[in-house]
Amino acid sequence: MTRLLVNTSDIAANAQRFVSRIAVPIIGVVKGNGYGLGLWEFARCLLTNGVDSLAVDDLTEALCLREKGFEGPLLLLKPLSCKHDASLAFANKLQPLIGNPHALALWAGMAEGEPLPAHLYLDTGFGGYGFRYENIGEYLDLLCDDRITWAGCCTHFAASFGAQKGVETQFNRFTQCISAITARGITIGKIHCCNSHAALRFPHMHGGAVRCGSVFAGRAGSGFSPIGTLETTVLAVYPLKKGAPLGYASAAKMPRDGLLGVLDCGYGQGLGLTKKPDDFRVLGRIRAAKNAFTAKPLQGVINGHKAQVLGRINMNHTCILCPESARPGDIITFPCQPLFVPRDVERSYT
């Protein structure tokens, strides 16, 4: 059996450490099944450790949080695209991001007296969603719709982990848009543009709130504990001689006489899967290429000893070089990226 081990004390410690550095309200992003750690468990841990409100990517996640009893402000990050989705958002008292005329019309059409809260989304260089910053003047009349109250206004940085110049450029575009909007007499609530990296690097950009998630999962640099360990079982152990072929196309060979272990886990359970680097600068690409050539085989820990993966990680099983003490049924743990661990893999919380 394979399961993902989640230490909620480490999530709490990450949250407390981050909250101590932030002087404005924190919108806790729990998208992607709580970064793979479990939507409700992750959200609940954040809410009890200083996070003020929540944000999710899609309606399924939002409905789950409402069913669990969360009644606070809930930001929907993906744009509304149809009346059905708008109706669900309205019925569950969500606050959608509005970044195009179509979504604005859908949401305004749900109003039944009192204006509905939403967050205005501006595209300052990320691309995709959002009213484009250079065309903001064309949309000011639309944004005056009295069926909507702007609870917030936000943007998203394309490379908050990268060169400061690019982040400052986007931030300046954002502030210029805010000035144009408010000059038109449009009232907006919390201004938020910082994700985890930006919140840690650029305190002067915090505005009225920060919108963060990966930092709580330990994915935002040093000082924050990575969360999540993949645990699986040794199915079988075989003594093999040095040079014995292993796996498809005999792509690997036994490095020495010893024990070959077969694990009840593979890439189908998230083993060995990693996120591609976000840094597309020349230096970032060079670093990624170097890491690809110098990367060491994945290692797990079994009975207190390190055990190296041999050959390719297959869909549902993997071979390792076992310590002499290994036996079928033993437990082995691996570092992992929980985002890539499928939802049907059990999460175990401590």
For residue 257, give the CATH number of its domain: 2.40.37.10
Same domain for 208 and 233, yes or no, is no
CATH assignment at residue 190 = 3.20.20.10
Name the domain count of the chain. Answer: 2
Q: Average of pLDDT values for 115-133?
A: 95
Q: Is residue 2 one of the residues assigned to a domain?
A: no
Q: In the structure, what pLDDT confidence band is assigned to residue 330 with cuts at 50, 70 and 90? A: very high
Q: Is residue 317 part of a domain?
A: yes
Q: Are residues 42 and 178 in the same domain?
A: yes
Mean per-residue pLDDT of the chain? 93
173 is a domain residue = yes
Residues 94 and 146 reside in one and the same domain? yes
The helix (H) or strand (E) run that includes residue 95 is strand 95-98
What's the pLDDT score for residue 286?
Answer: 64
Residue 219 lies in a domain: no
* Higher pLDDT pick, 294 / 110: 110
Which of the pair, 330 or 221, is modelled with greater confidence?
Answer: 330
* pLDDT at position 280: 56
Please tell me whether residues 79 and 203 are part of one structural domain.
yes
Torsion of CA 140, 192, 276, 289, to 10 degrees: 100
pLDDT tens per residue across span 273-311: 987 766 555 666 666 556 555 567 899 999 999 999 999
Residues 305 and 186 in one domain: no
Of the candidates 183, 212, 241, which is a domain's last residue?
212
- Predicted confidence at residue 291, as pLDDT, reads 57
Q: Are residues 74 and 187 in the same domain?
A: yes
pLDDT of residue 249: 81
Rounded to the nearest 10 degrees, the angle between the axes of helix 39-47 and helix 8-19 is 40
The answer as to whether 224 is a domain residue is: no
pLDDT (tens digit per residue) in 235-252: 999 999 999 999 888 888
The pLDDT of residue 74:
98
Q: Averaged over 113-117, what is the pLDDT?
A: 94
Q: What is the pLDDT of residues 139-196, one digit of tens each?
A: 999 999 999 999 999 999 998 988 899 999 999 999 999 999 999 999 999 999 999 9
d(CA 272, CA 257): 25
What is the share, in percent, of the chain residues with pLDDT greater than 90?
87
- Of 26 and 289, the one with more pLDDT: 26
Task: Flag whether 217 is in a domain.
Answer: no
The Cα–Cα gap between 89 and 108 comes to: 12
CB-based burial label for 244 (10 Å; 0-12, 13-18, 19+): middle
Whether residue 325 sits in one domain with residue 248: yes
Domain that holds residue 238: 229-349
**Which of 143, 178, 212 is the last residue before a domain boundary?**
212
Q: pLDDT tens across 41-64, in order?
A: 999 999 999 999 999 999 999 999
- If asked whether residues 183 and 254 sit together in one domain, one would say no
Say yes or no: 118 and 159 in one domain: yes
Instruction: Give the pLDDT confidence of 209-221 residue by residue, as tens digits.
Output: 999 999 999 987 7
Among 143, 177, 212, which residue terminates a domain?
212
Are residues 181 and 235 both part of a single domain?
no
Q: Which pLDDT value is given to residue 285?
A: 61
Give yes or no for a contact between 300 and 334, defined as CB atoms under 8 angstroms apart. yes
Residues 101 and 178 in one domain: yes
Same domain, 96 and 194: yes
Q: Which two tokens stand for residue 176?
A: 């210029």
Nearest CA among 331, 275, 328 for reference residue 302? 331
pLDDT score for 211: 98
In a domain, 174, yes or no: yes
Phi, psi of 195 (to 5 degrees): -90, -165
Q: 164 lies in a domain?
A: yes
